[in-house]
Structure 1
Amino acid sequence: MELEHERDIWGDFKKGDWHAYTLLYDTYYKRLNNYGYKFTRDVALIEDAIQDLFVKLWTNRETLGEPSSVKNYLYKALRHALFRKIKTQRKFTLAPTENYDYTFELSWHDHLVVDEDERELQRIIKDVTGKLPARQQEIVYMRFYEGLSYEEIAEIMSININSVYKLWYKTVDNLKDALRHLLCVLLVYCVSRTGTEG
């Protein structure tokens, strides 16, 4: 959940308010960790990047600007920090804007899914999105699971808005056939659920 008064908290943090700083950390740590996990399975690397990010924020707090969205600012900063760390560790051989690992994970429920139809539906969605190139998986995640606008996605991915639109249209084209199949499965699932509940 985003902070209700994030601009005020950001301003207090920039003035050296430790409570505001820890509030930012506590609020965004889990989301940043989840976002980082989309790029690498190296949990220690992700945690290290997040720690470095927050240390750098504290150290440079007086010179930081006023982002329109703290969450987007942190996502973008973490993305760059991870790419730098991965490249430094030589686990990353291509430029971050060209190709990178991005794993699409579904987390529809916090509880264990026990229904076989639901498991099948989740498997299909994961398979469909897992076949997309990494950048397309990332845009699906940001657009649908984070609810970000095209402008916010452009800012986080450090690309212009037209590139986001092109990437989105390519993604939609790649998903069309797979989504038709998914909609059929979803329809069967909904009909079967209605039949068992009524």
Structure 2
Amino acid sequence: MKVNKSKVINYGRKEYQYILYKKYYKDVFRTVYYIVKDKEIAKDLTHDAFLKAYKNVESLREIENIRAWLCTIASNLSKNYLRRNKKFTMLELHSESHSTDDFVDEYVLDKIERKNTQEKVRNLLNELDPDSKEILSLRYYQELPYSNISEILSLNLGTVKSKISRAKKKIFNMLKEEGEINEKRAKG
């Protein structure tokens, strides 16, 4: 969807904002959620991303890919949020919101559920640095092609591919350390 100033002005600012919000909310929310891994924070940051976009839309001449532009704003806000709140991990946030007994029960249940590799990878994703987490989330959870990721992150296509490759190697090595992948399987 190509957007230009005259469309926003002719259609009406409020109506246009509503259309953008309805059309792209899920994509923007997913981008934020896969970075911060907290539903309430993701909702707040998604809202902030749309507000920032609405505030800046008139300063732009044209936006070739509005979805990519909105997701870029959202991912930048998310990474900034994580940098500012580095001291809190998801485990700390989780344990603060539940009693110790509830936390232990949930931990045991979570261990049982993590039998499949996909769940383990999802958990390991949270241990990655924000940039690696973001690029893998865009590729594998949002299923974006390399070209869109390149556009969203303002990186060369080759850089995107190499960053994805490095992030996948990190996950692979983490799985090896946890014993999920044995040496024979890793080589074969």
State the TM-score, normalized to the length of structure 1: 0.57
Query: Are 1:126 and 2:122 counterparts?
Result: no
Does the 8 Å contact 2:50/2:70 carry over to 1? no
> What is residue 85 of structure 2 aligned with on the other side?
91
Matches within 5 A, 1:80-159: 80-87=76-83, 90-92=84-86, 123-132=116-125, 133-134=128-129, 135-159=131-155
**For structure 2, which runs of at least 5 residues remain unmatched after alignment?**
91-111, 176-180, 182-188
Q: Partners in 2 of 1:80 and 1:14 — Cα distance?
A: 27
Amino acid at match of 2:7: D
Percent pairwise identity: 22
- Aligned in 2, Cα 1:60/1:120: closer, same or farther, shift over 3 Å? closer
> What is residue 170 of structure 1 aligned with on the other side?
166
> What is residue 72 of structure 2 aligned with on the other side?
76
Q: Partners in 1 of 2:113 and 2:3 — Cα distance?
A: 45
Amino acid at match of 1:91: N
Q: Partners in 1 of 2:38 and 2:150 — Cα distance?
A: 26
Indicate the SS of the match to 1:148: coil
Superimposed CA distance per residue, residues 148-181 of structure 1 (whole angstroms, 9 cap, x where no aligned partner): 2223212323433332121122245456797xx7
Aligned pairs, number = 151
Q: Partners in 1 of 2:169 and 2:23 — Cα distance?
A: 36
Q: Partners in 2 of 1:72 and 1:122 — Cα distance?
A: 35
Give the aligned CA root-mean-square deviation in angstroms: 3.6
Which fold has the larger relative contact order, with Cα–Cα distance below 8 Å and residues 6 or more apart in sequence?
2
- Aligned in 2, Cα 1:11/1:85: closer, same or farther, shift over 3 Å? farther
Residue from 25, 37, 54 that aligns with 1:29: 25
Q: Give the CA deviation at 1:79.
A: 1.0
The structure with more helix, counted as a fraction of residues: 2
**For structure 1, which runs of at least 5 residues remain unmatched after alignment?**
1-5, 94-99, 102-118, 182-198
Indicate the SS of the match to 1:131: helix
